[in-house]
């Protein structure tokens, strides 16, 4: 399977939008735009894999260069991923110098 450059850029844009929605819902952001795009991209794969495993239908599928992404489950997968990351990565707190 081959994806064109435009298709890859559109997938990254969809991933960034999905990641931004997930970060807004959870209230945690592990980084900037690139981290948001990666989280959305990975979340799309998690949600796309998890939904059929538990018998859920595809909701709002988007097909880009032969790759179908169910957007609703992509957002759910990204929310799960951001929530797990927020639990793993504790916020860094500085100690005050005395």
Tell me the pLDDT band of 97, cut-offs 50, 70 and 90: low
Number of domains in the chain: 1
Write down the pLDDT at residue 22.
92
Tell me whether residue 93 is in a domain: no
Tell me whether residue 63 is in a domain: yes
Tell me whether residue 1 is in a domain: no
- pLDDT tens string 39-88: 888 988 888 888 889 988 877 787 877 777 788 888 999 999 999 988 88
Better-predicted residue by pLDDT, 12 or 21? 21
Residue 61 near residue 50, CB atoms below 8 Å: no
Write down the pLDDT at residue 80.
92
The answer, yes or no, to whether residue 25 has pLDDT greater than 90, is yes
Tell me whether residue 24 is in a domain: yes
For residue 29 the two structure tokens come to: 């952001």
The answer, yes or no, to whether residue 31 has pLDDT greater than 90, is no
Alpha helix stretches (DSSP H) within 1-98 = 5-26, 33-53, 71-88
Tell me whether residue 2 is in a domain: no
Separation between Cα atoms, residue 46 and residue 19, nearest integer Å: 12
Domain carrying residue 82? 9-88
Q: Is the pTM of this model over 0.85?
A: no
Q: CB pairs under 8 A, 24+ apart, for 50-57?
A: 50/76, 50/77, 50/80, 51/76
């Amino acid at each position: 399977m081959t994806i064109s450059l435009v298709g890859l850029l559109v997938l990254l844009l969809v991933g960034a939008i999905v990641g931004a929605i997930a970060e807004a819902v959870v209230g945690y952001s592990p980084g900037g735009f690139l981290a948001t795009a990666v989280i959305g991209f990975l979340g799309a794969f998690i949600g796309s894999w998890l939904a059929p495993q538990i018998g859920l239908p595809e909701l709002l599928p988007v097909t880009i260069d032969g790759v179908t992404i169910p957007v609703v489950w992509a957002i759910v997968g990204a929310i799960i991923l951001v929530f797990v990351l927020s639990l793993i990565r504790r916020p860094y707190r500085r100690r005050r110098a005395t």
